[in-house]
Amino acid sequence: MASATRTNRVNRSPEPPTAGRPPSKVVALWRSSVGKKAVMAVSGLVMLAYLVAHMLGNLKVFFGPDDINGYAHWLRTIGQPLLHYGWFLWIARPVLLAAVVAHGVAAYQLSRRDLKARPQQYAHRRRQSTYATRTMRWGGVILGLFIVWHILDLTTLTVNPAAEEGHPYQNIVASFSTWYGGGIYCVAMLALGLHVRHGFWSAAQTLGVNNPRRDRALKLAANTLALLLTAGFLSVPVSVMAGLVR
């Protein structure tokens, strides 16, 4: 009897493996196209808020070295005495970096997904997917490369020809006094303007903010914001290259 029991146990077929756990809501959202577009929209708005603040800070260059150098020092004292000197910037930088990475990864994956969905080229390109799509795609690549250059130029001062630690006014003038420093910045800011114009409108659609009554106002806001940011950022290198800021 014991032998028969042991035989039955040995010959018993194994139970079918249990199905894996379904992905969490966060993972499922990220895997969907809607989720990736939402990530792009939210991360884009985070970067947009930073750009507005950054542009306003840059405009202090027109008030002289004391103003912009004092502003740069103030940024490092935000949160004191709770935070030590410079801690605010080191808290803000990872948040901004996470937004940039999330935005770029989501954009790349959506682009790849779109290409896989239509592996064969259309004989005639669809009008709605030419200008805006290519502008966003190549604009994003240009801005990604520019971010690396900008950090090396005015943050780490690696490629700045006359860098002075703690003297942002002098570093800005030194960078934009060269044809390549000013040229790279101007091209990137033009790409930024187009990116913001299309991105702001796309974010409004993704987040469900738009409707027939608001579309006109949202488009006006996108155009105005893109124009102001482009003009504000371009005013600094153009003024340096023209000799108005020295």
Could you give the CA distance from residue 138 to residue 117 in angstroms, rounded to a whole number? Answer: 20
Residues in the chain: 246
Q: Cis check for the bond before 22: say yes or no (omega within 30 of 0).
A: no
Q: Give the lowest-confidence range in 28-32, 132-136, 217-221, 227-231.
A: 132-136
Percent of the chain with pLDDT over 70: 85
Q: What is the pLDDT of residue 123?
A: 45
Q: In the structure encoding, which two tokens stand for residue 235, read together?
A: 């005013």
Average pLDDT over residues 219-228: 95
Q: How confident is the model at residue 92 (pLDDT cuts 50, 70, 90)?
A: very high
Q: In the structure encoding, which two tokens stand for residue 12, read together?
A: 């018993």
Q: Give the lowest-confidence range in 71-75, 180-184, 194-198, 201-205.
A: 201-205
Q: Give the lowest-confidence range in 29-43, 81-95, 205-219, 228-242.
A: 205-219
Percent of the chain with pLDDT over 90: 65
- The 3-state DSSP class for residue 24 equals coil
- The 3-state DSSP class for residue 211 equals coil
Q: What is the pLDDT of residue 119?
A: 55
Q: How confident is the model at residue 54 (pLDDT cuts 50, 70, 90)?
A: very high
What phi, psi does 220 have (nearest 5°)? -65, -40
Q: What is the pLDDT of residue 10?
A: 46
pTM exceeds 0.85, yes or no: no
Could you give the CA distance from residue 71 to residue 77 in angstroms, rounded to a whole number? Answer: 10
**Residues 147-162: pLDDT tens digits?**
999 999 999 999 998 8
Cα→Cα distances 131→18, 126, 138, 198, Å? 49, 10, 11, 10
Q: What is the pLDDT of residue 29?
A: 84
Q: What is the pLDDT of residue 164?
A: 87
Q: What is the pLDDT of residue 7?
A: 47
Q: What is the pLDDT of residue 18?
A: 46
